[in-house]
Amino acid sequence: MTTYTARSLANAVIRAASSTGVDADGAVVPPRPVTGPEVGHLVYVAHGISLALYDRPILADPAVATRRGVMIPALHAALGRERAEPLRSFDPETGRFAEDPPPPASDVVANGALRAVWDRHSLAGAGSAAVDAQGPGSPWVHLVSDPDFQPGTPIPDAMTELYFAGLAADEIAGTY
């Protein structure tokens, strides 16, 4: 199973945010800036959707629970809190910085999960992905509710998959 770094998945989200789209009614949706925390939540939600619908992880880096919410440490320092710009890494072969590539177009599962999450949250605005990532019944809520909770606790994929399978079922039933 192919997984991707959080930076690669983040760049796919940032690219989607910076492009013009079309909503379900055929109306043009202009590009909109996204913040670093929003990108992190969108990446985590896409990972959860991929686990729930395809039984496949797409995120290679761990997501952790902090007192303030879900965080992907690999993205936290790189993105900051302001408008997110594409992430670049040093390529020792070329001696240059290059953008971390998003998943290839041939990876229908990863791109489908990322697209579905962006389509759902692009019009809802900042904060909507955080609601999915940290809402009632989420792995984050379960972990931080534990009296022995330690910030930085990794969020198990099994918990993530179960939670997002429930959200997907609610979406299909029209109760979400």
Q: Are 159 and 40 in contact (CB under 8 A)?
A: no
Cβ contacts of 31 within 8 Å, gap of 6 or more: 17, 18, 19, 20
Pick the residue with more confidence: 26 or 9? 9
The answer to whether residue 1 sits within a structural domain is: no
Number of structural domains in the chain: 1
Which SS3 state, helix, strand or coil, does residue 34 take? coil
* pLDDT surpassing 80 at residue 64: yes
* pLDDT surpassing 70 at residue 82: no
* pLDDT surpassing 90 at residue 27: no
Instruction: Give pLDDT, residue 126.
Output: 62
Q: What residue numbers bound the domain in which 144 lies?
A: 6-173
In angstroms, the CA 51 to CA 136 distance is 19
Structure pTM? 0.87
* pLDDT surpassing 60 at residue 175: no
The answer to whether residue 11 sits within a structural domain is: yes
* pLDDT surpassing 50 at residue 176: no
Q: Are 114 and 103 in contact (CB under 8 A)?
A: yes
Give me the phi and psi of 162, to 5 degrees please. -60, -45
pLDDT digit string, tens, across residues 93-147: 767 777 788 899 999 999 999 988 888 887 676 678 888 899 999 999 999 999 9
Q: Which two tokens stand for residue 170?
A: 């609610």
The answer to whether residue 72 sits within a structural domain is: yes
